[in-house]
Amino acid sequence: MSIAILPLAIFAASQIGTPGPANMALMATGARFGFRAALPFVAGVALGKQLIIWPVGFGLMELSARAPWVFEMLKYISAAYIIWLAWKVANLRLGQGTGTGAAPGFAAGLIVHPLNPKAWAMIVGSFTAFVAPETPALTATATIAVILLSCQIVMHPLWTLAGAAIARTVAGKPAEPYLMWTLAALTVASVLFVLFGGGT
């Protein structure tokens, strides 16, 4: 098949499930305002990634047809950046803030991913690492859009719902570094599998 769906799903889950700007915002919002109040924000964050996926998908697929070497180069650049982000995750420590006022709404969530470099790298990596260059743009883009959104629908609410509890129970404890290193290792493993395990 021209799209490596299972490796893509594992990659998406490891990326969407690990700490990053969006998940930290979701965790903080849930901790400060509660799960129900945060739901419009959660919905905006999930749908905001679609604003990147579709334009990037069609642009990259057209580019890959004209210059396949660019497609290959982007694959390694994206992988390197994601591994660098994993290193930052490994050294990240959970924190919990306090705040007052109204919870951020749908519009605030919608712009989180367009302003999130991890989201851009994840999406570019999804196309360049898991999609064969000859794949039709619509097929590739729709598949990636559905897989990423499915992972977000599951994981974003979990970060919002359980984030405060995770921060309270793990932050500052001996187990915290091991948790963060495990999350980072999953991200690196998925990238290495794609680069050297024939994931495309």
3-state secondary structure the chain: CCECHHHHHHHHHHHHHCCCHHHHHHHHHHHHHCHHHHHHHHHHHHHHCHHHHHHHHHHHHHHHHHCHHHHHHHHHHHHHHHHHHHHHHHCCCCCCCCCCCCCCCHHHHHCCCCCCHHHHHHHHHHHHHHECCCCCHHHHHHHHHHHHHHHHHHHHHHHHHHHHHHHHHHCCCCHHHHHHHHHHHHHHHHHHHHHHCCCC
pLDDT score of 163: 61
pLDDT score of 156: 94
pLDDT score of 96: 45
Low-confidence ranges of the chain (pLDDT < 50): 96-99, 199-200
Domain ranges of the chain: 5-192
pLDDT score of 99: 47
